[in-house]
């Protein structure tokens, strides 16, 4: 299974990764705030992820790691 890892503490909740995801499976976690006071991004359906890494390429702070298996 493919895996997407977000460095939640560094995420500023800009939403660019969610906009770039072709499957539409990334959203901001409105129930959580990180140490900087932002709602971090999260993967909502890990089984649907195709590991295209569009999210990681779009992230301006490089907080996303994509592992393709």
Q: How far apart are the first and last CA of the chain?
A: 6
Answer for the pair 35, 9: CB distance below 8 angstroms, yes or no.
yes
What distance in Å separates the CA atoms of residue 64 and residue 67, rounded to the nearest whole number?
Answer: 10
Predicted local distance difference test score (pLDDT) of residue 14: 97
Predicted local distance difference test score (pLDDT) of residue 55: 98
Output the pTM of the full model: 0.91
Whose tokens are 């709602």? That residue is 39
| Total number of domains in the chain | 1
CATH number of domain containing 60: 3.30.70.20
* pLDDT interval class at 1 (50, 70, 90): confident
Predicted local distance difference test score (pLDDT) of residue 22: 98
For 12-36, the pLDDT digits (tens) are 999 999 999 999 999 999 999 999 9
Give Cα 22 to chain centroid, integer Å: 13
Q: 32 is in which domain, residue-wise?
A: 3-67
């Amino acid at each position: 299974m493919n895996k997407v890892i977000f460095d939640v503490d560094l995420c500023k909740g800009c939403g660019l990764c969610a906009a770039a995801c072709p499957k539409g499976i990334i959203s901001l976690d409105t129930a959580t705030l990180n140490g900087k006071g932002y709602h971090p991004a999260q993967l909502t359906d890990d089984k649907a992820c195709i590991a295209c890494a569009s999210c990681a390429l779009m992230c301006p702070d490089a907080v996303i790691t994509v592992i393709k298996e």
